[in-house]
Amino acid sequence: MAQTDRYSTVSGSPTPIGASLSTPDPNGSPGEIPPAPTVPVSVPVTAPVTAPVTAPVSVSPSPPAAARPQRTRDTQATGTPAKHPPRVSLDALKREIAKVIVGNDAVVENVLVSMFAGGHVLLEGVPGLGKTLLIRTLASILQQNFRRIQFTPDLMPADIVGTRLIQEDDAGHKSFVFQPGPLFANMILADEINRATAKTQSALLEAMAEGTITAAGDTMKLARPFFVLATQNPIEMEGTYPLPEAQVDRFLFKILLEPPSKEMLENILERTTGNEVAELSPILTTDEIVAAQKLVRDVPIAKHLREAIATLITATHPKNQAAPQPVKRYIAYGSSPRGLQAVALAAKSLAFLRGQNHVSFDEIKAVAKPALRHRLILNFEGEAEGISTDEIVDKLLAQIESTLTLGKPG
C-alpha cells in the first residue's frame, strides 16, 4: 500500500529569484479588459444571428469591466493574491538557532546550506558537542517532524524503514498493514551511523539518494523536505563498519565539529545549568522550504565560474596531466562528478541564503572544503605525512583564484 506525501508542494516550475508568481494575461498586458459588445435582448437565442466578421456577437450581456477582477502582477487569474517567493534570511535563521546552540557559526551555516540545497550532512565529532540539539533546534524553527535513530550493530533495515504487521478489524478479518519506521519524517538524526551493518546502511542510502523507501516489494515516497544528518565518532573505531565510498559520496557535506573554546564553555555552562529555557519562534513552513529549495536551483552561475568549478574537480585527479604536484604526490583518487554537483548546488544555496542574485567565487571557496574533503582519498604517502584533504583543496582554490584574477579585464 503506497503512502502518499503528507505535505503539499508548490506546483509548477521553479521561478527565478525576484520574479512574480502571478499568472500573466494571455491576451497581452495586464490592463483593463474591454467589455464585449452586446445585442438587443429581443433576439431569440435559437435564431440565426448574422453579423460582420469584424463585430463579434455575445448572446448574453457581459458584466461591466469594473466588476471583474483585473489581472495585475500581484493577482492570479482567479482574482486571488499571488504567492510570492519565500524570503529566507541566513542571519535570521542563525540568530534563532543561536538561542540554543553556542558558537559553531560555520557548522550551523553549512548545515543550513546543505538542507536548502536538498543534500545531506555527515557530521564528525566527539560525543557531547550538541549534534542532536542542533538538528532538533533546526526542526523546531522550520516546523518539521524530527526522528532520532541510534545506530547499533543489531539494528536491522526493518527497524528504520518499517514493516508489515497483521491487523484484525472488528469483523474478525485479518490483513497486513504497513507500520512506517522512523525514516518517515522530515529531519533524521542518524547517530553513529558507522556502528550499523552494511545492510542497514544501504537501507538509509536509498532514502537519501532516491527519496523513497522499498518495503515488502512496495516503493513509497518520502515527505519533502527530507534531510539526514548522520554522525560518526572519530575516536572509538572498534566494532564499527566504515561507510563505503559509494555511501560517503551521497553526503553533500562532511562537516568537522571542533571542541568548544573557553568562552563557549562558559556560555554553555550558563545556559544549560539553570531553569531558563529558550523559546524558539517558527520561521518557515513546509511549503516555503520546498519552494526555496526549487528557487536555489534557479540561482545563475556565470560561465567562467562554471569553468572554475570544473577545473577544480579535474585538478583533484592525480592521473590528470594538468594536476598540480601535491595532488600527484598525495592523492590516490580524486572527486567524482557528484562532487562537481555538490560544489555548484552548495554555492547556489549559500548565495540564495545571503540574498544574492548570482554565485560569486566567494561562495565557491566557502563550500569547496566541506563538499570535497570526503571525496578525495589520500594515498599511503599522504597519510604517512599527515596531509589533510583540506590542505589540497586550499592549494587548488588559490591557484584557480589567481588565474581568475589575472584573467579579469584591466
Cα separation, 367 vs 113, whole angstroms: 9
Domain positions in the chain are 87-296, 297-410
Q: Which residues contact 74 (CB under 8 A, 6 or more apart)?
A: 20, 22, 81, 82
Give 1-39 pLDDT, tens digit per residue. Answer: 444 444 433 334 444 444 443 444 444 444 444 454 444
Q: What percent of the chain has pLDDT over 90?
A: 42
Which pLDDT belongs to residue 126?
81
- Is the per-residue pLDDT at 59 higher than 70? no
Give me 244's grid cell.
Answer: 563505503
Which pLDDT belongs to residue 399?
92
Cα separation, 135 vs 114, whole angstroms: 13
Mean pLDDT of the chain: 80
Instruction: Give 146's pLDDT tier (boundaries 50, 70, 90).
Output: very high
Collapsing DSSP states into helix, strand and coil, what is residue 75? strand
The domain defined by 297-410 carries CATH number 1.10.3720.10: no
Q: Which span out of 168-177, 207-216, 283-292 was modeled with the highest average pLDDT?
A: 283-292
Cα separation, 249 vs 243, whole angstroms: 10
Give 257-316 pLDDT, tens digit per residue. Answer: 888 889 989 888 888 888 888 888 888 889 999 999 999 999 999 999 999 999 999 999
Which pLDDT belongs to residue 237?
66
Cα separation, 408 vs 385, whole angstroms: 37
Which pLDDT belongs to residue 406?
67
Collapsing DSSP states into helix, strand and coil, what is residue 215? strand
Which pLDDT belongs to residue 63?
45
- b/e per residue, 105-126, with b = 16+ CB within 10 A? eebbbbbbbbbbbbbbbbbbbe
Q: Which residues contact 232 (CB under 8 A, 6 or more apart)?
A: 122, 123, 124, 192, 193, 194, 240, 243
Tell me which of 363 and 172 has the higher pLDDT.
363
Which pLDDT belongs to residue 12?
42
Which pTM was predicted?
A: 0.75
Cα separation, 376 vs 383, whole angstroms: 12
Amino acid at 158: A
Which pLDDT belongs to residue 29?
44
Q: Which residues contact 333 (CB under 8 A, 6 or more apart)?
A: 317, 318, 376, 377
Which pLDDT belongs to residue 408?
58
Specify the range with the lowest mean pLDDT, choosing from 50-54, 151-155, 215-219, 347-351.
50-54
Tell me which of 336 and 76 has the higher pLDDT.
336
Angle between helices 90-97 and 131-141 (to 10 degrees): 120
Instruction: Give 74's pLDDT tier (boundaries 50, 70, 90).
Output: very low
Mean pLDDT, rounded, for 52-62: 44
Give me 190's grid cell.
Answer: 542518524
Give me 115's grid cell.
Answer: 538542507
Mean pLDDT, rounded, for 47-62: 44
Give me 297's grid cell.
Answer: 536551483
Q: Which residues contact 245 (CB under 8 A, 6 or more apart)?
A: 377
Rounded to 5°, the CA angle 80-82-88 comes to: 145
Which pLDDT belongs to residue 404?
82
Which pLDDT belongs to residue 57?
41
- What do you get for the CA distance between the two ends of the chain, in Å? 64
Query: In DSSP terms, which residues pair with 122 in a beta bridge?
Result: 230, 254
Residue 40 has what DSSP assignment? Answer: -
Domain 87-296: give its CATH code. 3.40.50.300
Which pLDDT belongs to residue 270?
86
Amino acid at 398: A
- b/e per residue, 242-256, with b = 16+ CB within 10 A? ebeeebebbbbbbbb
Give 368-399 pLDDT, tens digit per residue. Answer: 999 999 999 999 999 999 999 999 999 999 99
Q: Are 106 and 63 in contact (CB under 8 A)?
A: no
User: Other C-beta atoms within 10 Å of 318: how many?
Assistant: 17
Which pLDDT belongs to residue 15?
42
Q: Are 348 and 302 in contact (CB under 8 A)?
A: no
Instruction: Give 176's pLDDT tier (boundaries 50, 70, 90).
Output: confident
Instruction: Give 352's pLDDT tier (boundaries 50, 70, 90).
Output: very high
Which pLDDT belongs to residue 297?
95
Mean pLDDT, rounded, for 340-361: 95
Give 216-250 pLDDT, tens digit per residue. Answer: 778 889 989 999 999 988 776 666 778 878 788 88
Which pLDDT belongs to residue 367?
96
Which pLDDT belongs to residue 170?
84
